[in-house]
Amino acid sequence: MGSIKENENTSPEQEEIRVLVTGFAPFRSQYPINPSWEIVSRLPSYVPSNAQVEGHHPHAKPPLQKEPRRIRIDNYEAPVHVGYKAVRELVPVLLDENPNGFEPDYILHVGMASGRPFYSCERRGHRTGYFMRDVDGKILNDEFDRIKEGDKWIWHDCPEELLTSLPFDRMFHQWKEACPEVDIRISEDAGNYLCDFIYYTSLAHRYKQHRPNKAMFLHVPLASDDESIRKGVEITIELIRAMVECDLKAKDTVGDNSDFPEEKEGL
């Protein structure tokens, strides 16, 4: 199934923030290259963060400022198979049971949207509506399984829609400011296919554990030439930085999104 790519040159004394990133394998004959995986596989091992972490020395006024924590990117080393069964089996491994013995602080899934010539981050994932066959020719039979299995169904008591726990509007604002010449938008509809499915699967896994679901999904355009991939890497780095920095800032801010009106869907 693959494993997490272990980055080298890590100092055990240095506190790091770990972001797990996945990309998809090709899934249509007319698109033999999936740009999501090409982008993810070229991400750097580390991203510097500008977020300061306050110390808590009792006599320090103002509070001590520690060095910014480095953001470490852990790529899942293989493109994710575009199949419902494969995704449902993989996500718990990535979040809880990965062989390198760490639990990611954040997870970013990246996928291709062939009908969108822009970059978009998804606000929500959906539990139902998956009627398209995956690359194995399989249809998700959750509506049948839900009735058959009752309260033992995997997503029993999970809501129809789940939103990320990240401060979404603040994150999007920072991401957009960092990429002023790029068409980036918010999406409220991840498409009811494997992109939507892996996003909801990650969100639901943490929801069932009663823990913050610090996941995000990024849709990228279908272009896979060298310049488009290079651009995609830069845009993805800025999204990762915004995810982490805005979340860290939100921990010390009451009503984090109060000064950021809700961004509307850009489709």
Give the pLDDT mean for 111-115.
Answer: 93
**Over 50: is that where the pLDDT of 257 sits?**
no
Q: Which residue has the higher pLDDT, 248 or 259?
A: 248
Map out the domains of the chain as residue ranges: 15-45+67-253
Judged by DSSP in three states, 67 sits in coil
Top-tier CATH class for 15-45+67-253: alpha beta
- Judged against a pLDDT cut of 70, whether residue 62 lies above it is answered with no
Q: Which of 62-76, 194-208, 250-264 has the lowest mean pLDDT?
A: 250-264
User: Given a cut of 50, is residue 10 above it in pLDDT?
Assistant: no
Identify whether 221 is preceded by a cis peptide bond (ω within 30 of 0).
no
Does the pLDDT of residue 105 top 80, yes or no? Answer: yes
151 has pLDDT over 80: yes
Place of tokens 């978009």: 120
Q: What is the structure's pLDDT at 66? A: 59
Under 8 Å CB-to-CB from 142, ≥6 apart: which residues? 127, 128, 130, 153, 155
